[in-house]
Amino acid sequence: MKPSRFSGTNIRIRRSNRVLLIEPAYTTKYPPLGLMKISTFHKMKKDEVVFNKGNNASIRDQHWDRIYITTLFTFQWNITIETIKFYQRNKVGCDIKVGGILASLLKDKLANETGIQSHFGLWDEVDRLHPDYSLTDTNDYKVSNASIGYMTKGCPNHCSFCAVHKIEPNYIDYIPLKHQLGSDKKDLILLDNNVLASSKFEFIIDDIKNNGFYKGAKFGKSLRSVDFNQGVDARLLTEDKMYLLSQIAIFPLRIAFDDIKLEPVYIEKIRLAARYGIKRLSNYILFNFNDNPDDFYRRLKINIELNEELGLSIFSFPMKYIPLEEIDRKYIGKNWTASQLRGIQCILHATHGVVGPKRPFFEKAFGRSVDEFRFIIEQPEEAIFNRSRMIEYRCVV
C-alpha cells in the first residue's frame, strides 16, 4: 500500500500569524473601515487579530508577525508619524504596513520620515470583503449602530480640492450591499463620493430597499436610516433620482453646496426634496478655497431662509479647505485672513461644528447680515466668547 502524500513529513501545517491593527489616537467619528476589512482577511486565514487605538507599549512589545497602521487626513501628520515610529520600536522588528489617505497622498514624504514604503490607494483583494464589525465594538466611536460601506467607488469629477480622483481613479458604478452589512446594525452609512453619477442608480436604490432600508423600515421599534454621508451632487440630482431617494429611509439627505455659483441649482433641489417629502437635510459648506467671507455667510443664510419657507430642517457643516499636501490646518485662502478663519473656528467650537436650522441661533452665532458677520469674525477671541455666551468654550486654533 502506498503511503498517503499527506502523511508523515509530507504534512505541512501553516502556523497562525499574530496580526496587530493600529489606528492613531486622533479623534474620528467612524471606526476604521479599512482595518475592519483587513481583520476579516486575516481571520479567514485563521490568524489571530488584535486592534488597538493609539500607542500601547505592552501591546507593541509582544510578538507580532505583522502590524498594519491606518492613516486618515494629512493634517494629522504629526500624530500619525509619532504612532508609526512608536510601533517601529517593536522588539521583534516585525513587518509594518501603512496605508490610507495620508499614506497615499504623502507617500514619498512618509517614506523619507519613516523608511516605510506605504501602500497607495485601495487594496483590491481586501476592499470587497465584509467588515469585521466585532473589531471595534468595544471602542468609543460616535457611530456604533450602523453598517458602513460603499455602493460605488471613485468619482468622475476631478475637483482640485478633492483627493478622490487621485486615490480612487477608476469609477465603479455598483457594488452589492449584502456582504457589507452587520446583522445587528440598525442604520446604514454609505461613503460613496458620487453615487448619483452611477448608471445603475435605480439598481442601487432597489438593493438598499431589498436589504431592509426602505422608507419607514424599522429595526425593532426604531426607524432605520440611510445616510449617503459624503453628500450628493446637486447638479446630478434629477427629479427621477429624488423620487428614488424618497423611497428609502434617507435621513438626512446631504447635498454639497461648495460654491455660491451653485445657488440656483442648490435651491431648486432643496425645493424638489421638500416636494418629495424629504424634510431632514444636511449640507457641506466648503470655505477657505476660492470663496470669500461674504458668500460663505450667504450660503449659510440660504439654508435658514429655505427652512422657513419650506418647513424643513437643514443642518450645515462648514468644512475648511486645506490643500491636499498640507500637514497642518494653517492654510489661509486667497480671499481670507487668519483672524477671519480664527473667528469662524471659535464660533464652530461653540456650535460643535454644526450650523442649526433656527434663525435666532444662527443670527446669534453668525450675525444678522454680512457686515455683522464680518465684524464678529474679525474680533479678538475674548470678544467672540463674551458676545455669544451660548456655550462656554475655549477656542483652539
Provide the grid cell at 258.
461648495
In this prediction, residues 313-326 reach a mean pLDDT of 96
In this prediction, residues 130-144 reach a mean pLDDT of 89
Tell me, what's the pLDDT at 12? 55
Which of 158-162, 291-295, 376-380 holds the top average pLDDT? 291-295
pLDDT 10s digits, 67-78 = 999 999 999 999
pLDDT 10s digits, 266-295 = 999 999 999 999 999 999 999 999 999 999
Contact 318, 293 (CB under 8 A): no
Q: How many CB atoms lie within 10 A of CB 199?
A: 9
The domain limits of the chain are 16-124, 143-388
Instruction: Transcribe 74-105 into DSSP letters.
Output: GGGHHHHHHHHHHHHT-TT--EEEEEEHHHHH
3-state secondary structure 169-185: CCCECCCCCHHHCCCCC
Q: How many CB atoms lie within 10 A of CB 163?
A: 17
Contact 133, 182 (CB under 8 A): yes
d(CA 271, CA 389): 34
Collapsed DSSP state (helix, strand, coil) of residue 122: coil
Answer whether residue 397 shows pLDDT above 90: no
More confident residue, 9 or 74: 74
pTM: 0.91
CATH number of 16-124: 3.40.50.280
d(CA 33, CA 294): 38
Contact 312, 357 (CB under 8 A): yes
Mean pLDDT of the chain: 93
